[in-house]
Amino acid sequence: MGSGKSTTGRKIASSLRWTFIDTDKLVEEQNGLTVAELFATRGEKYFRETETKALQTISARSRTVVACGGGTPCSVENIGIMKETGVIVYLRLPVATLVSRLEKSKTARPLLQGAEETDLTKRVQDLLAQRAGWYEQADLIADSLNITIEELTGRLADLIRSRGAFL
């Protein structure tokens, strides 16, 4: 949350001349509700199930940059789909930077609902601790404060080519 997956993903897709898809947006379109509304009315379990279905649908595409929700890679099924069908990038940022971005964000974040500044820091730390093992399975870990979109796109293109795929 707050790492810039959607913004960065759009820029990378544009640079590669590929399609861009945000799994959260796809889930919202398929359900006619926002992520926050889905969490509130149907619960996290339902949301995660629909997120997996969206990921399965997207994984059949080629030349597509996908911005996943922060919890998407955090299941054996989802990380497996991601590993089999693409290159996984983890945009890593310090907790303080994430908290700063999330405080300014106008986007409703169900897992952070009602958190004040000090509680927000704790919640972000806890989420990162829970998800670290999943995130660290990425093919490319980019410390987002120290890399430009151009550098990241170049590294991704090289990684994709090294796996026998062509841009």
Beta strands in 50-159 (DSSP E): 64-67, 89-92, 140-143
Residues in Cβ contact with 64 at an 8 Å cutoff, skipping those fewer than 6 apart: 13, 18, 19, 20, 21, 58
What confidence tens digit (pLDDT) does each residue in 20-43 have?
A: 999 999 999 999 999 989 989 999
For residue 81, being part of any structural domain is answered with yes
In this predicted structure, the answer to whether residue 137 has a pLDDT above a threshold of 90 is yes
In a domain, 167, yes or no: no
Distance CA 88, CA 79 (A): 9
Q: Report the share of the chain in percent with pLDDT over 70.
A: 90
Q: Which pLDDT score, from 0 to 100, does residue 113 have?
A: 65
What confidence score (pLDDT) does residue 163 get? 80
Measuring CA to CA, which residue among 77, 70, 75 is closest to residue 56? 77
Q: State how many domains the chain has.
A: 1
User: CA 12, CA 38: separation in Å to the nearest integer?
Assistant: 29
* Domain that includes residue 90, residue range: 5-162
Over the stretch 41-97, which tens digit does the pLDDT of each residue have?
999 999 999 999 999 999 999 999 999 999 999 999 999 999 999 999 999 999 999
Q: Which residue in the block uniquely carries the two structure tokens 């969206």?
A: 54
CATH code where residue 93 lies: 3.40.50.300
Q: In which band, very low, low, confident or very high, does the pLDDT at 166 lie, cut at 50, 70 and 90? A: low
